[in-house]
Amino acid sequence: MKQILSFLFLFFAFTFTLFAQTAGYPDFELVESVPVETVLDNPDIRNAHEVWLEMINGAKKSLDIEQFYVSNKKGEVLDDIITAIERAADRGVNVRLIADAKMYKTYPETIDSLGSRKNISSRTIDFGKLAGGVQHSKYFIVDEEQIFVGSQNFDWRSLTHIHELGLRIKQKDAVQFYEDIFNLDWNLSESNDKSALPQFLSPKTYHAPYTLVESKDDTLIFTPTASPTGFLPDPTSWDEPNIVRLIDGATTDLDLQFLGYDTRKEYTVLDDALRRAATRGVKVRLIVADWSKGTGAEKALKALTLIPNIEVKFSVIPEWSGGYISFARLEHCKFIVVDGSMFWLGTSNAERGYFYNTRNLGIVVSNKKIGTLLQRVFMKSWNGPYTELIKDGTEYQKRKHGEE
């Protein structure tokens, strides 16, 4: 009997390991966060809390963190992450933290607490003064060798009450691109003076796209991207044109998910690209969070639904059984999948300011395995119980998402 039990244990452990590996590769992994009490979880995709702890606990020399803001709550899972950062500093890891200056005014406590500790330096960057926007990227770099970048804010709600997607990447040359962005912002954050930009922004050419050979018949090709234009060591890495080229290359399917999508008369770049795709017969599906209900963006979304081959849905995540939580219970993912084999994933929403005025990061990837997986994540939301088709003649009521 003991032998049978031992065999079963080993069999299921081995099966689980194989299953878990389908979320990507050891050096390139798709990572998720899922609202509790929903059916959005994917057992073969690891959760951000687990991956973040693994990365931070493994830091030996440096930990560079750039976040929109930091909002912790004692007893919630982000508390483990903050403790891991403190322990990293205690063992001699050099920690640098950058947060957006405007959001710092709302959430100063954890940043101040971390910044007061030995081996941790914290700064705020004012992209309002620098470029007219905010520091909206969400990423951290460990030992200049691996990075996590995605839609997850350093917010306790992001890990348990919001649908998010990110990537863990281990490729030193590519990580250097993001490290250069961090160092630029770190230097700018010292004075937040735009006139200092030429002093710190050195033109540089990267050897992208990068190729990871995962097996004999399986390669992954990717290009790091970022915004805003004018604040990039390599202008060819700018998010907007890379996203447009990706969309223009679609032949059969184009699946997009963003928190927000807003096209006004003065900015139609993404809207035009979607319409071009639909005109050549591509099936376009777009999911946006219900934050757009009852706003000016609703008109643009309704206009898209009138185009043949384009469908748009609102995502509406039910409230938690424990009560209302501000700025939570939504899908916050930001990604585009083309033909199930190429994708862009990043920190921007589909609005002009995210590309022209605001610091954001992204990545364009060509890989069938992860592209198919990401498309499956999209279709789980698209066909699931939390989305509804947007119809031109329907009046939508704005849903409460802010503070009480």
Q: Could you tell me the pTM of the whole model?
A: 0.93
Relative orientation angle of helices 297-305 and 269-279, to the nearest 10 degrees? 10
Q: Where are the beta strands (DSSP E) in 151-269?
A: 154-155, 162-170, 210-215, 218-227, 253-258
| pLDDT averaged per 10 residues, the chain (length 404) | 45 42 85 98 98 98 98 96 98 98 98 98 98 98 98 98 98 97 98 97 95 93 98 98 98 97 84 97 97 90 96 97 96 98 97 97 98 98 98 89 65
CA 311 – CA 274 distance, rounded (Å): 11
Distance CA 361, CA 180 (A): 12
Q: What is the pLDDT of residue 20?
A: 44
Identify the pLDDT of residue 4: 46
DSSP 258-299: ES-B---TT--HHHHHHHHHHHTT-EEEEEEEGGGTTSTHHH
pLDDT for 403 equals: 63
Give 206-212's long-range contacts (Cβ < 8 A, gap of 24+): 206/173, 206/176, 206/177, 206/233, 206/234, 206/237, 207/173, 208/174, 208/177, 208/237, 209/364, 209/366, 210/171, 210/173, 210/174, 212/25, 212/27, 212/28, 212/171
Residue 391: predicted pLDDT: 94
Q: Compute the distance between CA of residue 58 and CA of residue 313 in angstroms, rounded to an integer.
A: 40
